């Protein structure tokens, strides 16, 4: 493969190379980073723990500056073509009676032009567009040994290799972060709630409608995107106190014991699901996103949590800014990582701040609050100044999603 060398002469006249880059994690941030690094003339390799590319997943939003990044990749069109096509959010009481409805875009905090897409579709589009980047599926980094000139990496499936740079794009529980920066607990900031998501039979959902059953301290939802052969269930609940293993699936049953509507069927389906994701909703907060020749991008560095609705956009923008900063660093990784942080920090802070605010509206504390929320939603359609009120709700998300000056495209 032809590629430009990023070998350069630093100010001290030492020849420093950073051509071969290992990216740990082939999700949104890792795939976008591979695309941009290749565009800048680096030679990225992606190591992905999953045995094969993962389709589906859950729906994610792409907003604001992240859409500009997709546009610069020439991918805004293909991504829009895979929009979930959701129409409506419908709030239901324990007997399944409708309490209120809401336009799906408003429910998702999306303004004009923002896109909602299944995570698997977005990752596939990014990975395919990156072309002949080497992917090592079903593998993972086990050790990293960095020196001034490179990083020696060993892999779980055997073998070792030396890279010029290693970038952890391996998500909330990043292995690269643990290996290079220390134990996970030092950087994870739990938001006090757990989230579970899984595939359930299509019959439990309704096409293009988000069904939601809010109850004090816990909310259940189920949706089926346009043309999807199955539905996705989502469980949000206050993090259980005193549970020995709060990420054990049995916790779900206890958290939703006695719940009405279709919750018993959804719980039974969750227990049977092969793709149940259950975790504490957390953010990643770090003093620095790099050490020597090892850096982090996306959730691994600055997860904002699903409650922010901005994790995907942070990953896309972060990949773009990191690749640009490394390419402009004259072969000096420290300078590249520093430029990346300078540009990204305020954007990350603005978007992480959305999560706690959003979470308050996603899991309500009492029956009174639920009544108030659904009554307001019902009234909203009839109130004068409706448009102004709606734009006030969406404005903080819109502002945060564009709170960065992107460097010019390469």
Ligand X SMILES: Cc1cc2nc3c(=O)[nH]c(=O)nc-3n(C[C@H](O)[C@H](O)[C@H](O)COP(=O)(O)OP(=O)(O)OC[C@H]3O[C@@H](n4cnc5c(N)ncnc54)[C@H](O)[C@@H]3O)c2cc1C
Contact pattern for ligand X over residues 124 through 163, marking x by CB under 6 A: ----------------x-----------------------
Can you say how many angstroms the Cα of residue 208 is from the centroid of all Cα atoms in its chain? 22
Interface with ligand X by CB under 6 A: which range of 53-61, 143-151, 325-333, 384-392? 53-61
Report d(CA 92, CA 101) in Å as an integer.
9
> Which of 299, 343, 351, 397 is close enough to bind ligand X by CB under 6 A?
299
CB nearer to ligand X: pick between 332 and 337? 337
CB nearer to ligand X: pick between 313 and 402? 313
Q: Which strands, in side-by-side order, build the sheet including 218-223?
A: 98-103, 88-92, 209-215, 218-223, 230-238, 188-201, 277-284
Q: Does 409 bind ligand X (CB under 6 A)?
A: no
Interface with ligand X by CB under 6 A: which range of 21-29, 82-90, 254-262, 362-370? 21-29
CB nearer to ligand X: pick between 105 and 195? 195
CB nearer to ligand X: pick between 110 and 262? 110
> Which of 3, 40, 49, 87 is close enough to bind ligand X by CB under 6 A?
49
> Which of 39, 119, 135, 218 is close enough to bind ligand X by CB under 6 A?
119
The vertex-367 CA angle with 363 and 368, nearest 5°, equals 105
Asked if residues 337 and 290 have their Cβ atoms less than 8 Å apart, the reply is yes
Report d(CA 136, CA 81) in Å as an integer.
28
Site for ligand X in 174-193 (CB under 6 A): 175
Which backbone phi and psi does 197 adopt, to 5 degrees?
A: -150, 140
Question: Quick one: the chain helix, strand, coil %, rounded to 5?
Answer: 40, 25, 35
CB nearer to ligand X: pick between 16 and 117? 117
Give the tokens for residue 36: 């941009």
For the bound state, the minimum distance from the C-beta of residue 28 to ligand X, rounded and expressed in Å, comes to: 4
Interface with ligand X by CB under 6 A: which range of 9-17, 28-36, 268-276, 391-399? 28-36
For the bound state, the minimum distance from the C-beta of residue 331 to ligand X, rounded and expressed in Å, comes to: 26
Asked if residues 410 and 322 have their Cβ atoms less than 8 Å apart, the reply is no
The number of CA neighbours under 13 Å toward the Cβ of 73 is: 33
Give 247's DSSP letter. Answer: T
For the bound state, the minimum distance from the C-beta of residue 314 to ligand X, rounded and expressed in Å, comes to: 7
> Which of 20, 25, 200, 347 is close enough to bind ligand X by CB under 6 A?
25
| Torsion angle, alpha carbons of 142, 145, 146, 149, to 10 | -110
Question: If residue 192 lies in a helix (H) or strand (E), which one and from where to where?
Answer: strand 188-201
Site for ligand X in 346-405 (CB under 6 A): none
Return residues touching ligand X (CB under 6 A): 24-30, 47-50, 58, 60-61, 119, 140, 169-171, 175, 195, 197, 277, 298-300, 306, 309-313, 315
């Amino acid at each position: 493969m032809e590629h430009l060398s990023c070998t350069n002469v630093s100010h001290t006249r030492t020849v420093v190379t950073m051509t071969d880059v290992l990216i740990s994690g082939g999700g949104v941030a890792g795939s976008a980073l591979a695309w941009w690094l290749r565009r800048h003339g680096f030679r990225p390799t992606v190591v992905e723990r999953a045995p094969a590319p993962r389709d589906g997943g859950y729906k994610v939003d792409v907003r604001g500056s992240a859409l500009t990044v997709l546009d610069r990749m020439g991918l805004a069109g293909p991504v829009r073509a895979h929009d979930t096509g959701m129409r409506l959010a419908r709030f239901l009481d324990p007997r399944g009676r409708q309490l209120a409805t809401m336009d799906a875009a408003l429910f998702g905090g999306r303004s004009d032009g923002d896109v909602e897409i299944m995570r698997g579709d977005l990752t596939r589009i990014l990975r395919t567009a990156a072309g002949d980047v080497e992917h090592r599926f079903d593998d993972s980094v086990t050790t990293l040994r960095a020196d001034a000139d490179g990083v020696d990496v060993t892999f779980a499936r055997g073998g070792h290799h030396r890279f010029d740079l290693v970038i952890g794009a391996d998500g909330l529980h990043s292995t690269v972060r643990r290996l290079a920066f220390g134990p996970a607990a030092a950087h994870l900031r739990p938001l006090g709630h757990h989230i579970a998501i899984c595939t359930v039979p299509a019959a439990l959902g309704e096409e293009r409608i988000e069904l939601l059953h809010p109850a004090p301290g816990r909310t259940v939802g189920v949706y089926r995107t346009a043309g999807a052969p199955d539905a996705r269930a989502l469980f949000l609940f206050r993090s259980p106190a005193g549970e020995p293993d709060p990420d054990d699936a049995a916790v779900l049953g206890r958290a939703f014991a006695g719940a009405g509507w279709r919750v018993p069927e959804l719980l039974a389906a969750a227990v049977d699901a092969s793709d149940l994701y259950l975790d504490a909703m957390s953010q990643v907060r770090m003093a620095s996103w790099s050490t020597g020749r090892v850096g982090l991008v996306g959730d691994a560095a600055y997860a904002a949590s699903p409650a922010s609705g901005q994790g995907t956009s942070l990953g896309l923008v972060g990949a773009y800014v990191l690749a640009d900063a490394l390419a402009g660093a004259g072969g000096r990784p420290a300078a590249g990582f520093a430029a990346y942080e300078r540009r990204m920090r305020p954007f990350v802070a603005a978007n992480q701040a959305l999560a706690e605010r959003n979470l308050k509206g996603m899991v309500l504390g009492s029956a009174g609050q639920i009544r108030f929320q659904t009554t307001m939603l019902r009234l909203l359609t009839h109130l004068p100044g409706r448009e102004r009120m709606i734009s006030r709700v969406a404005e903080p998300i819109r502002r945060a999603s564009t709170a960065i000056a992107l460097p010019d495209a390469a």
